[in-house]
Amino acid sequence: MTSTVFSHHALLSDGWASSVRITISHGSISGIEKGAVSSEGDVVVDFLTPAPGNLHSHAFQRAFSGLTERRGNPVDTFWTWREIMYRCALTIQPDELEVVAAQLYMEMLEAGFTRVGEFHYLHHDTDGRPYGNLAEMAERLIGASVQAGISMTMLPCFYAHGNFGGADPVAGQARFVNSLDSYASLIELTKNAISTVDGGEVGYAPHSLRAVSSEELAAVVGMGSGPIHMHVSEQMKEVSDCISWSGQRPIEWLMANADVDDRWCLIHATHQTEEELAMVLKSGAVVGLCPLTEGNLGDGVFAGQTHIGKGGAFGIGSDSNIRISLAQELSQLEYSQRLQLQNRNVLAGGEGSTGENLFCRAVAGSGQALNGSPALAIGNEASMISFNGKAAPWVNRGTLLDSWIFGMDQGPDRVWARGKVVVAEGRHTDRDRISASFQKVMKTIVARF
Ligand SMILES: [Zn+2]
């Protein structure tokens, strides 16, 4: 099946171009004509850009977004938040997960993400026993992605321990835990399940240095090709626990004990020395930044000026899914740097637009980390966003992304995921049905809190 889109301005892989006609065949871009004229049957838009992937999500956490913002301890921290997160994780049922995830993925599409990296660790039944189908929960998430129409890179998580040095998992982690054998089976089942879904990819996700031993990490990384995602150096307690265990900081240990390369996506990587930053840059790994979650959880500020300023790869993840906003993730990333450095346009990458630099770099980083191909180029997936210029006629292509990211609520007008229109006039095409199910299920989930 072939369709065509004519855009007055399009952000191609080599920059903005005028009067661009894009041909889409079977979900991919099969033709790009610059300086074209529109033809009958074209969808005509004002501005067209690629759509980045969201490289880090825990879908079930969308169910308690906004419900942990009251102080429950003398000092609330990431670790007290984690207790509440475990309460939700311990009770959510497979059909509830699918409904919550469908709502979440719909919101991601409306925000401009067309692929999700689902870092999935909620594997087993509430008592920790595997479901009859080991991949039951993974299949529910894949089902949700199909309902919403988002492309998925499924990252089944390997989780075996409660802390550094192979400590036993705690009761709240019972649903997460696999042996290496059961994890290998889970990967195979997940690959089978996703093989029938357009654009589906599978990667490997050793949860963190807290949750895997060094032998297990090597085994998981050696299981096959595909992206490797891992939480690392998110919290200072994690850094000090790692030093107590090994004498090294988390990234320092990882770089010394694993062949970290461009297959890897280091989620957060918040707390780093200059030496660690240099090693990450040299490795070619993508840093998975989750600015809204990192702010919400009080993680710390990533050294964006150093890593991004030196050309390091990065992408954006919504992680805890506290709020789904690609624009706000990018502005928060820049603002965290401004607040710390008392400076402006820190991540502009030269004299150009800060928003455009952040956006284009996030597109490239998410493609690398999720095995996607989001840039507008022939052969790539036709995953694109359009913006309606009539909403703000003073905005031109040079100011479009800055206006969206820093200035206005006006978001994507239309979103294509693998060639299919999933958002029109800013609204998901199946929003009514998906959100009605979500509202019903949330009543049950919240009643259990
Ligand atoms: Zn995470």
Mark whether 319 is an active-site residue: yes
| pLDDT of the residue at 158 | 98
Average pLDDT over residues 154-161: 98
Average pLDDT over residues 110-122: 98
Which pair of structure tokens corresponds to residue 309? 């300023």
| pLDDT of the residue at 391 | 84
Which pair of structure tokens corresponds to residue 127? 């008592």
pLDDT in tens, 345-364: 999 988 899 999 999 999 99
Indicate which residue of 58, 120, 231, 268 is catalytic.
Answer: 268
pLDDT in tens, 250-269: 999 999 999 999 999 999 99
pLDDT in tens, 363-406: 999 999 999 999 999 999 999 999 999 988 999 999 999 999 99
| pLDDT of the residue at 336 | 97
How far apart (Å, rounded) are the C-alpha atoms in residues 328 and 357?
A: 15
Query: Residue 197 pLDDT > 80, yes or no?
Result: yes
How far apart (Å, rounded) are the C-alpha atoms in residues 31 and 11?
A: 15
Distance 389 CA to ligand 1 centre (A): 36
pLDDT in tens, 263-309: 999 999 999 999 999 999 999 999 999 999 999 999 999 999 999 99
Contact 318, 324 (CB under 8 A): yes
Contact 176, 123 (CB under 8 A): yes
Secondary structure (DSSP) of 384-401: EEEE-GGGSTT--TTTHH
| pLDDT of the residue at 410 | 81
Average pLDDT over residues 8-29: 97
Domains of the chain with CATH codes: 2-50+375-432 (2.30.40.10), 53-370 (3.20.20.140)
258 or 67, which is more confident?
258
Share of the chain above pLDDT 70, in %: 100
Distance 33 CA to ligand 1 centre (A): 40
Distance 53 CA to ligand 1 centre (A): 15
pLDDT in tens, 73-99: 778 887 777 877 787 778 999 999 999
Distance 323 CA to ligand 1 centre (A): 14
Distance 169 CA to ligand 1 centre (A): 18
Average pLDDT over residues 195-216: 96
Secondary structure (DSSP) of 6-72: EEEEEEETTEEEEEEEEEEETTEEEEEETT----TT-EEEEEEEE--EEEEE-GGGGGGTTSS-S--
| pLDDT of the residue at 90 | 82
Which pair of structure tokens corresponds to residue 394? 């003073």
Average pLDDT over residues 207-217: 96
Mark whether 168 is an active-site residue: no
Query: Residue 29 pLDDT > 90, yes or no?
Result: yes
Query: Residue 178 pLDDT > 80, yes or no?
Result: yes
Average pLDDT across the chain, whole number: 95
Contact 318, 312 (CB under 8 A): no
Indicate which residue of 299, 319, 402, 413 is catalytic.
Answer: 319
Distance 56 CA to ligand 1 centre (A): 6
